[in-house]
Structure formats: C-alpha cells, structure tokens
Amino acid sequence: MKTKIIDITKQYDEALSEAARILKSGGLVAIPTETVYGLAANALDGEAVKKIYKAKGRPSDNPLIVHISNMEELGQLVDEIPEKVKIMAEKFWPGPLTMIMKKSGLIPDVTSGGLDTVAVRMPENKYARAIIKACGLPLAAPSANLSGSPSPTNAKYVYDDMNGRIPLIIDGGRSKIGVESTVITFADEIPAVLRPGAVTVEEIRNLIGEVRVDGAVLHKLKEGGKASSPGMKYKHYAPRADITILKGSLEKFIEYTKGKDFFALVFEGEEMYFENAVTYGKPLDGVSEANRLFDALRELDEKGAKKVYARCPEISGIGLAVYNRLIRSAGFKIIEL
Ligand code: TXA
Ligand code: MG
C-alpha cells in the first residue's frame, strides 16, 4: 500500500474530502491532534477498527479512544453521562482529556477491547475536529505509532512508523502538547486517573473533588496484576536505546556518568557537560518537557544511541505525565543518586 501525505494547512479542501472518503469507506487515516497524532477509523465499524490493531501491531485487548467533535455525539456512545463528566466536559473539552464511561450498544467490542466501558475525547485541534465533522463519524484513534514506540508528534514520525501500512496521513503541523491526553475513568464510584496528561490531577481535584490516581501511573504493574487501563501493562514509548533514569542533582548525574560511554537525555542548558546529549525541555518546566520528550526519544535512536542516562523531571503538574512516560520508556530502571 502506498502511503500518501496531504498537508491540510496548504490543501484544506482536498485533505478533508480525501480523509472523509477513506474513513467513510472503512479505511484508516492518520490525523493531527493537539496531543499526538492519532490513527483513525470509524469507531462504530468493527471491521474498520480491526485494521488499526493490525497496522499498529497492537494487542487486541487494549481499547481505543473514541474522538467526537461536539457534545451531542457523546450521548449515543455511552449508557449514561455522569454529572461529573458534564462538569469536566464544560471546563476541559475540547482538549487533552479522555473520559471513560459505561458504553452503549453502539460501540463494537473491538473498539472497547472487550470491556463494557468506552473512552471518549473531544480534541481541540481544529483539523482533527474538521475531519470528524467532514466524515460525520465518531473516530477511534490510538496514537499513530507502531505499538511500543514513542507516540508521534509530527507527520514525518507517523510516516516512519506507518509507511506502507495505511493509505493516508493528514499533516497538520507539529502537535502542540506532545504527550497523550489525561485518561480518567468515571465507571466507578470515585473517579480515577489512569494516565496523566496536560489536564493535571490538581486541576481535576479542584473542579470535582475526590479523585484517585491509579497505582500504575507511578509504578510498574505487578506480575499478573490486573490493569485498570490495559495499555499500562504493555511495553511503551520505548526507543531502541536502553534508558536508565538517574534521580538526583545535575552534579551527582555528572559524577555518576563520568568515564562512561553513553548519551545524556538532559534539560536545556545542561548539554554542554556531555559529549553526546539530547535535550528534552527546560528544567522544572513540565510543559516544555512534555513537548519535547517523545521527539527526544526518537532523536536518540536517529543518533544511534545505545546506552542512555536520563535526568528525572519534577513529578507534579504536567511533570507527572512526563515522568509517567519516561519511566515506561526506561522499562522502570531508576537509580537514586
Ligand atoms: O491524546 C491521546 O489520547 C491520543 C490522541 C490520538 O487522541 N490517543 C491515545 O490513544 O493516546 P492510545 O490508544 O495510544 O491510548 C489510550 C489509552 C490506552 O492506555 C488504553 O488502554 C486506555 O487509554 N483506554 C482506552 N479505553 C479504555 C477503557 N475503556 N478502559 C480503560 N482504559 C482505556
Ligand atoms: Mg499509544
């Protein structure tokens, strides 16, 4: 299959009509969103959704997020809209927030990975919304990377992973945020954050009160343990390079790595201390770190890095999302200095 790329910032009408044509006929289209690029298919068509799992090499029990462009579309996808979901949607939609609810009969089992719940997000990216509107369908879309790789923040990285596997990539420029949406479930009594993102736990607590943070956000799932979010049990965001996080000051980092053959994954301004370094954002600035992390991981591979030592981000606000992705990309290898 030949993979075509259309730049929607230059060929708006053609991009929309081609994307809508393919999506309506049960095909796959990679689309830009403000978090990361998504690999979209008609969420209500089980056969179309199966193609997503195949193209990504994704385990079939890992459910997908369904993307909508307005509130009216939510009602038909879920059994009931909880009051707290309405409050959250009012404040954070459209935006980098995914909410899980009991699903309606319209959602095929492949879309929800066999679960009785469905994850829904209304993206803010204007091109994503225009594509959803143009095809008139809710779109199931995981991140548009090969399963296990870092999520793509631009059309080139989608092409690197998906060339020959999908017919169309819509290029809408670089993703603004750079890490995937916050995932929160409302399927149980007390809402629980399953994956941190740009909508922070602190912001959510301020709005709706008690919220749990699932144990798998900060720690490795125990062998044989049950994952609240199936995605958490799989290898994730991993470059080919072998990453170890070094927790502690820059001075201790320099001391620990002295004489070793490695690439440093460090903050801007720190690269001068190392022979080989890739940076991911500014120190103590979670927004810029989130924006750079996945690109930095791909750049390490492009540079042929084998052994990587990484600086550890602050673990609050959006920094929790950065840390959550980094510990997975490092296979949970962390050394306290
Ligand atoms: O920002 C994003 O969320 C991007 C863009 C494209 O919207 N999408 C994305 O999708 O990151 P994906 O499939 O890579 O991650 C979805 C995560 C997975 O960890 C999955 O296990 C979890 O959400 N998830 C989806 N539906 C779920 C459900 N019903 N119950 C629990 N976890 C669910
Ligand atoms: Mg993903």
**Residue with the nearest Cα to atom 3 of ligand 1?**
181
Q: Has residue 184 got a pLDDT over 80?
A: yes
Q: pLDDT tens digit string along 239-269?
A: 789 999 999 999 999 999 999 999 999 999 9
Task: Write down the pTM of the prediction.
Answer: 0.97
Query: Does 178 sit in the ligand 1 pocket, CB within 6 Å?
Result: no
- Helices 201-208, 83-92: crossing angle, 10 deg rounding: 130
Q: Which ligand is nearest to the CA of 114?
A: 1
Helix (H) or strand (E) holding 62: none
Instruction: List, for residues 88-119, the tens digit of each pLDDT value.
Output: 999 999 999 999 999 999 999 999 999 999 99
Tell whether the model's pLDDT for residue 223 goes beyond 80: no
Nearest Cα to Cα of residue 329 among 199, 197, 213, 238: 238
214 CB within 6 A, ligand 1: no
Q: In 229-279, at which residue ranges do the beta strands (DSSP E only) sit?
A: 242-247, 263-266, 277-279
189-218 mean pLDDT: 96
| pLDDT tens string 22-50 | 999 999 999 999 999 999 999 999 999 99
Which pLDDT belongs to residue 234? 67
Answer whether residue 236 shows pLDDT above 90.
no
Say if CB 147 and CB 153 are below 8 A apart: no
Contact call for residues 183 and 64 (beta carbons, < 8 A): no
> Which ligand has an atom closest to residue 33 CA?
1
Cα gap 269→251, rounded to integer Å:
14
Other beta carbons within 10 angstroms of residue 224's beta carbon come to 6
Task: Using most ligand atoms within 8 A of CB, pick from 143, 149, 184 the residue to mutate for ligand 1.
Answer: 143
User: How many other C-beta atoms are found inside a 10 Å radius of the C-beta of residue 218?
Assistant: 13
Q: What integer is the mean pLDDT of 205-218?
A: 95
pLDDT in tens, 279-336: 999 999 999 999 999 999 999 999 999 999 999 999 999 999 999 999 999 999 999 9
Say how many C-beta atoms besides its own lie within 10 A of residue 259's C-beta.
5
Sign of CA dihedral 194, 95, 88, 206: positive
What's the whole-number average pLDDT of the chain?
96
pLDDT (tens digit, 9 = 90+) per residue, 125-140? 999 999 999 999 999 9
CA 237 to ligand 2 center in whole angstroms: 8
Q: How confident is the model at residue 226 (pLDDT cuts 50, 70, 90)?
A: confident
In terms of C-beta density within 10 A (0-12 exposed, 13-18 middle, 19 or more buried), how is residue 258 classed? exposed
Report pLDDT for 221: 80
Domain with CATH 3.40.50.11030 in the chain: 242-336
Does domain 4-217 fall under CATH 2.102.10.10? My reply is no
Per-residue confidence (pLDDT) for residue 235, from 0 to 100:
66
Q: Is the CB of 328 under 6 A from ligand 1?
A: no
Which atom of ligand 1 is nearest to 98's Cα?
A: 3
Residue limits of CATH 3.90.870.10 in the chain: 4-217
Provide mean pLDDT across the span 213-223.
87
CATH architecture assignment, domain 242-336? 3-Layer(aba) Sandwich (3.40)
Compute the CA torsion angle 315, 320, 322, 323 (nearest 10 deg).
Answer: 60
> Which position has the token pair 């009969």?
105
Environment of ion ligand 2 (residues, CB < 5 A): 143
For the chain, what's the residue count?
337
Q: Is the CB of 77 under 6 A from ligand 1?
A: no
Residue 235 is encoded by which pair of tokens?
């290898």
DSSP 281: S
In short, whether 194's Cβ falls inside 6 Å of ligand 1 is yes
Rg of the chain over all Cα atoms, to the nearest angstrom? 20
pLDDT band at 73; cut points 50, 70, 90? very high
Contact 305, 276 (CB under 8 A): yes
